[in-house]
Structure 1
């Protein structure tokens, strides 16, 4: 292949990425109620749940904190994770809808590598997640929940949030392979979203689970990739070492994306699923 040909292929790939991201952003802009609905859930938890349990759940001085903190500050990273989780799963719903309408088949027939098209969809989902997270952080600040603002820590937290958004977007991409109809999405809510969120450190630290005797919950939370996403964001905000959390998040991202690419291969997964769904 000539150098001009390679440059043309790269330019075509970037143009496709820009087109997919622009489409998702425009669709999001036209659905302003979507931003409101994305913020209602975490803001309700922050304003009502955290206020009600502020004096019930004391958070001790443990890493990454250097002093006692109010409960709303503790759950803020978990609520950021909630925004990422629900948007990642909503992207799965959107892809199932696009598949039923035939839009996914049209997209995947473009003269570009299938993995690049799926990566573009995943990146668009992660970008929308970041927009929603920034809106939530702004609302949380207006409600009096202040997070650390050190420049390096914020950059680290932004990277951790982006990586977590990509991980959850890749999980949504993988789920869209197996959720054949929109009616089945309620099962995804019950068996994926809620267990991932409640069996994590989003609402309570791991040591409290172990101390209370909830051993099995403690063990499951340790292996839950969403726990590591929340902990990475939490430690990044305080510029502390997140330990193995980045490796777990990035490893889960890679595995889910590879399985999704395999599932969307017409010879293996996607084509068969589409034919069976249409039968």
Structure 2
């Protein structure tokens, strides 16, 4: 009996060899953050950088505490004895302390544009702008980093005021509100400084303009005296001054005077957002 040969079936040219199975990953790859999701990370990174600077060099913190201490010790104590400014039965030193907190925070933030110009001159800003991070994220990170420094400065002023006998609240929720008001106001003033830096482009000009506007902002607010004592034209300026809303919020939270907290925080939040938008638009001009 002879064997019958088996004819192999022809292989179709269209048939492809089976692809090997893809290996199963034992971990999930990190998700790439884009757009607005970069903002919290960048803000946290900038705040961490500023805190690291203070850890390595506390000289700025000590020197900046001298001016508010002098305001409280000399100006506050003197006018408390004179009783020249009506504060509704509140000791003038107590009335003044929140205004000095706001003033010291503003003085830190209003010259923040100098750091941006230094980063431009050293090439750091150009490297930041070519990253995929949105400009608004960069500006917001730097603005709220200035807010962190201002909060640390505010803590120093609060301690000095407490040592002088100012009747401050120690309610944790109210203190958190104080920190939020300081951060929002400092974010606006630092963005204002960045906007000025984007226009003048040099440190010398920025220093001159910063010194020219700090005192009008300070004296054009309710930091030193009630709005009712101001002339009519100065009241109009005070209503458009974000520092007035910060001081009103700090007084209401720290010493319990009548205030308009929803309006105060609303104005400060809108001012901070407007400042971030304006500074983001002018940031690219610095890198040219």
User: Shorter-chain TM-score: what band?
Assistant: 0.7 to 0.9
Match of 1:176 among 197, 206, 210: 197
CA contact (8 A) 2:245 2:268 kept: yes
Superposition deviation, residue 16 in structure 1 = 4.2
SS of the aligned residue for 1:8 comes to coil
Superposition deviation, residue 243 in structure 1 = 5.2
> Which has more helix, going by share of residues?
1
In the superposition, relative to structure 1, how do residues 186 and 162 fare at CA in structure 2: closer, same or farther (>3 Å)? closer
Say whether 1:259 aligns with 2:278. yes
Q: Superposition RMSD on alpha carbons, in Å?
A: 2.4
Task: Show the counterpart of 2:61.
Answer: 35
Match of 2:49 among 5, 20, 23: 23
CA contact (8 A) 1:173 1:257 kept: no
Asked which structure has the greater CA Rg, the reply is: 2
Map 1:85-124 to 2 at 5 A: 85-124=106-145
Task: Show the counterpart of 1:132.
Answer: 153
Task: Show the counterpart of 1:65.
Answer: none
Distance 1:250 1:120 in 2: 15
Task: Show the counterpart of 1:277.
Answer: none
Match of 1:56 among 77, 83, 86: 83
Say whether 1:78 aligns with 2:99. yes
Task: Show the counterpart of 2:31.
Answer: 7
SS of the aligned residue for 2:65 comes to helix
CA contact (8 A) 1:108 1:114 kept: yes
SS of the aligned residue for 1:49 comes to helix
Superposition deviation, residue 260 in structure 1 = 0.8
Larger deviation: 69-78 or 170-179? 170-179
Superposition deviation, residue 12 in structure 1 = 6.8
Match of 2:232 among 187, 211, 215: 215
Say whether 1:196 aligns with 2:223. no
Larger deviation: 165-174 or 192-201? 165-174
TM-score in terms of structure 1 length: 0.82
Distance 2:232 2:38 in 1: 52
Deviations along 1:168-210, one digit per CA (max 9) or x if unpaired, are 232223223123111113322333211111111010110111x
